[in-house]
């Protein structure tokens, strides 16, 4: 139980500091909403169309690839922390895990998913 | 999607509006809208007299103001049919080249900053500060200098200019070497700059593009070499030429041109015809003006009656003796030395005839076109005169106007992120584009 | 009670004024030659960052001070007013250079003769272009104004200049 | 080739097209009738004798008040504008602004009479507008100026944007500033001023500080 106290204190501190800034900002800052202020800012001109509606599929593809390969890091971190205790078998498991991941990456790379056009 | 990269955008240097039709990140079509900094230079040039136009010419290409000054003054001198003494030609070449270096420094620095290389921007602006201190030493102002006059320049090069100029150029060379090391083989910079904003030399010529932009496509057209003016035909310098005509080549051409400009300045400083900076010592024992005034105040007339007053040759007015080094010896064009204006009636009459409204410089009726190599290309002044003291029509051929008209050809097919480096290397200056 | 509250709110005003004064996020609305002098002021030699105003924010949402730098033509005026209105309170306006103060020597059909005819201005920095030292002095005046301002940030109504008729001569 | 031979070459190519020519201060200048413009421009570009690769500059000049006495200074109440004669004697004087020939039936070989101030209607008098083109040849390194006189009522000239792409924006600016239309130009609309601006500012009859603000007072 005791080692979790550190994490709790960390989150409490983060919460209060962030909350304080937001609260002070909204309380002390003067607010004068106006019609023009709520419109989208497009370099000083009236925006043609807000970027609503369909977006090119390329953005979606890149975003998915990023999430795929970035989330894997979540598994690598605890492994790295407990690396001493796991010994050789832990190393082999991680190599296999990363191997599968890299195979997927090379497949995507080969297919040109990373190219933009 | 229709996106508005509008006038108030950091990459658009604040005054261009590009409406881009985007397909994802690809730029499909572009509509460029300019004119946000149109200040009516050509209309104002018709209301003031010939020397009054010079402050307006500083604000055309305000990054290299001295080149505009020289271009306009040489055009009016061609209209008048007078020529300037040797030393004045050399002074004009020196300050024009200093101004060209500051223009390239600002352009390359801002271009690199927009790609994230902020430190290169800080180094280059530091180098520009050294050169601006030099310009301030010669002309009195950092940016809006109005140094040139029809028929000469405002004042001679001050004493100790050579050492200060040598030091400043050495600092600039050091910054150029640093920036070259930082940028030229930098993987991100090369990837962002090479291949984007390409234009072929035929298109460039058809659009009327000149200057570093045209030279990066492989055409070696430089007004200083093809139609040499001032003393450029006596100075050795070569014209850097690119091959592919993309942003990276323009960056290399500008960096090399700065090196050539430094070379020109050193040659010009070496063989500038010597004109005495200060009044000749042997004709009358020189006494500083302030001292003379003090002596006069306490009534010690005997000490000052045969002395020759010495005033600083630049800001307080040109000392009489070295005045002929910098003016065309044409009484109807150039203001007399301060000592003459207050010393004798001829000087006072000459001053009156040049300054009073309706008098001033009155060239014959005629029209004249004079091209000069500006920092962005051929900067031409077309002047029509109707014999009165103010120009009938002054037309500036803005070099970056042609480049901007080719912007759709540069940007269509590139990605949205390539608009910034391309626009950085177009070096569009609002004052010159919209006049 | 009121002076006690007064004591508390004036302490708060001073604290707020001090906080806002040294964390100016500026929106450089750069159009013309003054931009070169603005670059020189913002860079390492004259360094505006010493006064806490070093961070340019190119979106009106995140900017406190609108630096209007360079001539504003009639074609640019609606853009300037729109950006001013889209800035979040508390906001200030600095008119940088004589073209923004009074139109400079471009007294013709194309130029707005002074931006205080279209938006309220707090600090005027004359000069064509103003030397970096003028700009830093203008910044100090702005900081004094921010310090002395009431925490609610409302400012005296901007006095638009009286309508002066000018001789139209060709 | 130098100015004289260049002018002579153009004259041989278009004997009736070229109305007049001069090389004042060494600038080879040819004055061409409006209907010959496109032809002359095409030959200047494609003919190996000229090879004018660059259309350097395209502008216009409003000669309506050329030579008229200047208005007195706004501060001088004497009502008399002092404008003494130019002090620079000129050995080869400039032959004056281009003379416009009435478009209906160009009088062949009309004498380039010295520009008399009050030209009778129809008689060749100084043109109201002159469209000025500056060409430069990269291979042959020579420059030529082409002037096309245009009248106020139908101020229209052929567009060169089909020959040089640079002409597109230059012509839009001349339309914006002078109100001279260009036949065959794709989208001839204002480039420097805003759409709501009435009038053409660089004309001599447009006062300097007549403002039409989009926002804010008129002062």
**DSSP string across B210-266:** -THHHHTTT----HHHHS--TTGGGS-------SS-SHHHHHHHHHHHHHHHHHHHH
Tokens standing for A50? 């807000």
Q: What share of chain A is helix, strand, coil (3-state, %, to 5)?
A: 70, 0, 25
Burial of C167 (C-beta count, 10 Å sphere; 0-12/13-18/19+): exposed
Instruction: State the total domains in chain A.
Output: 1
* Residues D128-155 pLDDT 10s: 999 999 999 999 999 999 999 998 888 8
- The answer to whether D196 contacts chain C (CB < 8 Å) is no
User: Rounded distance, CA B274 to CA A84, Å?
Assistant: 80
Residue B61 vs residue D125, higher pLDDT = B61
* Residues C67-122 pLDDT 10s: 999 999 999 999 999 999 999 888 899 999 999 999 888 988 999 998 988 999 99
- The answer to whether C166 contacts chain A (CB < 8 Å) is no
User: Rounded distance, CA D45 to CA D140, Å?
Assistant: 12
User: Rounded distance, CA B364 to CA B382, Å?
Assistant: 15
Contact D87 B362 (CB under 8 A): yes
- Neighbouring-strand partners of residue D22: D29
User: Rounded distance, CA B63 to CA B57, Å?
Assistant: 12
Q: Which residues of B140-179 are buried (b: 16+ CB within 10 A; e: fewer)?
A: ebbbbbbbbbbbbbbbbbeeebeeebeebbeebeebbeeb
- Tell me if C109 is assigned to some domain: yes
Contacts of C167 in chain B (CB under 8 A): none
- Tell me if A27 is assigned to some domain: no
pLDDT at D116: 39
Q: Is-contact D129 D180, C-beta < 8 A?
A: yes
Q: Is-contact B147 B69, C-beta < 8 A?
A: yes
What is the set of domains in chain D, with CATH numbers? 1-66+97-104+122-219 (3.30.460.80)
pLDDT at C153: 58
- The answer to whether B392 contacts chain C (CB < 8 Å) is no
- Tell me if A7 is assigned to some domain: no
Expressed in angstroms, the distance from the first to the final Cα of chain A is 53
Contact B393 D170 (CB under 8 A): no
Contacts of D203 in chain B (CB under 8 A): none
D touches B, CB cut-off 8 Å, minimum 3 pairs: yes
- Tell me if A23 is assigned to some domain: no
- The model's pTM is 0.87
Rounded alpha-carbon distances, angstroms, from residue B245 to B105, B198, B217, B241, B407: 20, 5, 4, 9, 14
User: Rounded distance, CA B9 to CA C79, Å?
Assistant: 11
- What is the span of the domain harbouring residue C43? 20-144
**What H or E segment, with its residue span, contains residue C81?**
helix C77-85
Expressed in angstroms, the distance from the first to the final Cα of chain B is 32
| Per-residue confidence band for A43, with pLDDT thresholds at 50, 70 and 90 | confident
| For residues D20-41, average pLDDT | 90
- What is the span of the domain harbouring residue A86? 51-117
Helix axes B419-426, B247-270, angle to 10 degrees: 20
**D86 min Cα distance to partner chain B (Å):** 5
Contact C81 D215 (CB under 8 A): yes
If you count them, how many residues does chain C have?
A: 170
Give yes or no for residue C157 having a pLDDT over 80.
no
Rg (CA), chain B: 24
* Residues C18-62 pLDDT 10s: 988 999 999 999 999 999 999 999 988 888 899 988 889 888 989
pLDDT at C129: 92
pLDDT at D122: 45
Residues 12-71 of A with CB under 8 A from C: 28-32, 34, 36-37, 39, 41, 43-45
3-state secondary structure of C93: strand
- The answer to whether C60 contacts chain A (CB < 8 Å) is yes
* Residues B144-198 pLDDT 10s: 999 998 888 888 888 789 999 999 999 999 999 999 999 999 999 999 999 899 9
Contacts of C58 in chain B (CB under 8 A): 9-10
Contact C77 D211 (CB under 8 A): no
Of B23, B22, B26, B24, which is closest to residue B3 (Cα–Cα)? B22
pLDDT at D108: 36
- Tell me if C122 is assigned to some domain: yes
| For residues A51-69, average pLDDT | 81
Instruction: State the total domains in chain C.
Output: 1
Instruction: For residue D169, give the chain B residue with the closest CA.
Output: B405
- Tell me if A77 is assigned to some domain: yes
CB contacts < 8 A, B to D, total 145
Question: B48-274+363-395 belongs to which homologous superfamily?
Answer: Cytochrome-c3 Hydrogenase, chain B (1.10.645.10)
- The answer to whether B417 contacts chain A (CB < 8 Å) is no
| Per-residue confidence band for D127, with pLDDT thresholds at 50, 70 and 90 | confident
Which segments of C33-76 does DSSP mark as H helices, in order? Answer: 34-42
Backbone angles phi, psi at D135, to 5 degrees: -110, 155
Instruction: For residue D201, give the chain C residue with the closest CA.
Output: C109
3-state secondary structure of B154: coil
Strands (E), B11-66: 17-23, 26-33
- Neighbouring-strand partners of residue D146: D30, D133
- Tell me if C12 is assigned to some domain: no
* CATH number of domain containing C59: 3.40.50.12280
Q: Percentage of chain D with pLDDT > 70?
A: 79
User: Nearest by CB to D210, which of C109, C113, C160?
Assistant: C109
CATH 1.10.645.10 domain residues, chain B: 48-274+363-395
Q: Which residue has the tokens 């950092």?
A: B142
pLDDT at C155: 61
- Tell me if A70 is assigned to some domain: yes
Contact B79 D25 (CB under 8 A): yes
- Tell me if A15 is assigned to some domain: no
Q: Is-contact B182 B176, C-beta < 8 A?
A: no
Spell out, as residue ranges, where chain B has pLDDT lower than 50: 277-282, 314-318
Q: Which residue has the tokens 């709110």?
A: C9
Backbone angles phi, psi at D46, to 5 degrees: -95, -25
| Per-residue confidence band for D84, with pLDDT thresholds at 50, 70 and 90 | low
CB contacts < 8 A, C to D, total 60
Give yes or no for residue C2 having a pLDDT over 60.
no
| Per-residue confidence band for D71, with pLDDT thresholds at 50, 70 and 90 | low
- Give chain C's mean pLDDT: 85
Distance from chain centroid for Cα D108: 21
Rg (CA), chain C: 17
Question: Omega before C129 cis (within 30°)?
Answer: yes
Burial of D111 (C-beta count, 10 Å sphere; 0-12/13-18/19+): exposed
Q: Strand D129-136 vs strand D125-126: parallel, antiparallel, or unpaired?
A: unpaired
pLDDT at B185: 92
Rounded alpha-carbon distances, angstroms, from residue B60 to B54, C32, D175: 10, 10, 22
């Amino acid at each position: 139980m005791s080692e979790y106290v550190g994490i709790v204190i960390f989150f409490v501190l983060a919460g209060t500091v962030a909350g304080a800034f937001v609260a002070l900002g909204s309380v002390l800052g003067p607010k004068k909403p106006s019609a023009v202020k709520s419109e989208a800012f497009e370099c000083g001109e009236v925006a043609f169309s807000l970027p609503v509606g369909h977006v090119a599929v390329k953005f979606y593809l890149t975003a998915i690839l990023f999430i795929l390969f970035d989330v894997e890091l979540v598994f690598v971190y605890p492994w790295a922390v407990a690396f001493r205790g796991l010994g050789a078998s832990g190393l082999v498991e991680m190599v296999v895990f990363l191997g599968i991941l890299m195979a997927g990456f090379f497949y995507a790379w080969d297919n040109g998913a990373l190219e933009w056009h | 999607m229709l996106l508005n990269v509008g006038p108030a955008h950091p990459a658009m240097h604040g005054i261009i509006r590009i409406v881009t039709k985007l397909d994802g990140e690809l730029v499909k079509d572009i509509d460029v809208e300019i004119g946000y900094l149109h200040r009516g230079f050509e209309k104002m040039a018709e209301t003031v007299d010939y020397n009054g136009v010079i402050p307006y010419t500083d604000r055309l290409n305000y990054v290299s103001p001295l080149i505009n000054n020289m271009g306009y003054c040489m055009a009016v001198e061609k209209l008048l049919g007078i020529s300037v003494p040797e030393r004045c030609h050399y002074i004009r070449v020196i300050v024009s080249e200093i101004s060209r270096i500051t223009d390239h420094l600002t352009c390359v620095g801002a271009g690199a900053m927009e790609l994230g290389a902020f430190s290169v921007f800080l180094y280059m602006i530091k180098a520009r500060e050294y050169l601006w201190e030099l310009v301030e030493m010669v002309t009195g102002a950092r940016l809006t200098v109005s140094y040139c006059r029809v028929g000469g320049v405002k004042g001679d090069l001050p004493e100790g200019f050579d050492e200060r100029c040598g030091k400043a150029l050495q600092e600039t060379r050091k910054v150029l070497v640093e920036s070259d090391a930082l940028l030229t083989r930098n993987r991100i910079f090369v990837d962002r700059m090479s291949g984007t904003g390409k234009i072929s030399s035929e298109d460039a010529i058809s659009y009327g593009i000149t200057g570093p932009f045209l030279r990066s496509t492989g055409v070696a057209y430089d007004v200083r070499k093809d139609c040499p003016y001032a003393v450029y035909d006596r100075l050795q310098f070569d014209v850097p030429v690119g091959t592919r005509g993309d942003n990276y080549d323009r960056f290399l051409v500008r960096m090399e041109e700065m090196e050539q400009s430094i070379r020109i300045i050193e040659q010009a400083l070496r063989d500038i015809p010597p004109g005495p900076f200060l009044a000749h010592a042997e004709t009358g024992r020189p006494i500083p003006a302030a001292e003379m005034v003090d002596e006069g105040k306490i009534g010690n007339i005997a000490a000052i009656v045969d002395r020759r007053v010495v005033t600083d040759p630049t800001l307080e007015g040109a000392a009489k003796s070295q005045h002929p080094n910098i003016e065309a010896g044409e009484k109807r064009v150039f203001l007399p030395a301060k000592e003459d204006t207050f010393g004798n009636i001829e000087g006072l009459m000459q001053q009156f005839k040049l300054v009073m409204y309706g008098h001033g410089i009155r060239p014959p009726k005629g029209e004249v076109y004079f091209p000069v190599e500006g920092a962005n290309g051929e900067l031409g002044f077309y002047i029509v005169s109707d014999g009165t003291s103010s120009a009938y029509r002054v037309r500036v051929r803005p070099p970056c106007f042609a480049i901007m008209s080719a912007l759709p050809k540069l940007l269509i097919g590139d990605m949205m992120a390539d608009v910034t480096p391309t626009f950085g290397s177009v070096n569009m200056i609002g004052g010159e584009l919209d006049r | 009670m009121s002076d006690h509250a007064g004591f508390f709110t004036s302490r708060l005003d001073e604290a707020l004024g001090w906080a806002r004064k040294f964390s100016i996020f500026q929106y450089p609305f750069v159009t013309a030659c003054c931009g070169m002098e603005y670059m020189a002021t913002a860079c390492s030699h004259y360094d505006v960052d010493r006064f806490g105003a070093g961070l340019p924010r190119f979106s009106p949402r995140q900017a406190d001070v609108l630096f209007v730098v360079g001539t504003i033509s009639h074609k640019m005026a609606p853009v300037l007013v729109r950006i001013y209105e889209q800035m979040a309170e508390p906001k200030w306006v600095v008119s940088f250079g004589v073209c923004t103060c009074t139109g400079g020597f471009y007294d013709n059909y194309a130029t707005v003769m002074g931006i205080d005819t279209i938006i309220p201005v707090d600090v005027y920095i004359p000069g064509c272009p103003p030397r970096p030292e003028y700009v830093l002095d203008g910044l100090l005046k702005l900081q004094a104004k921010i310090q002395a301002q009431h925490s609610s940030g409302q400012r005296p109504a901007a006095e638009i200049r009286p309508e002066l008729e000018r001789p139209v001569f060709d | 080739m130098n100015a004289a031979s260049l002018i002579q070459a153009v004259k041989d190519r278009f004997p009736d097209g070229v109305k007049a020519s001069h090389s004042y201060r060494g600038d080879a200048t040819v004055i061409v009738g409006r209907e010959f413009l496109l032809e002359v421009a095409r030959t200047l570009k494609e003919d190996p004798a000229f090879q004018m690769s660059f259309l350097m500059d395209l502008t216009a000049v409003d000669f309506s008040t050329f030579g008229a006495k200047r208005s007195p200074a706004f501060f001088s109440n004497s009502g008399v504008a002092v404008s003494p004669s130019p002090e620079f004697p000129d050995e080869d004087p400039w032959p004056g602004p281009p003379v416009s020939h009435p478009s209906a039936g160009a009088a062949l070989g009309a004498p380039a009479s010295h520009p008399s101030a009050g030209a009778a209607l129809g008689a060749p008098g100084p043109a109201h507008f002159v469209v000025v083109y500056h060409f430069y040849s990269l291979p042959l390194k020579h420059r030529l100026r082409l002037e096309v006189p245009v009248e106020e009522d139908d101020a229209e000239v052929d567009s060169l944007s089909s020959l040089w792409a640079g002409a597109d924006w230059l012509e839009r600016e001349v339309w914006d500033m002078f109100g001279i239309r260009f036949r065959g130009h794709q989208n001839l609309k204002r480039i420097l001023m805003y759409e709501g601006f009435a009038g053409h500012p660089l004309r001599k009859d447009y006062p300097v500080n007549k403002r039409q603000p989009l926002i804010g007072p008129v002062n």
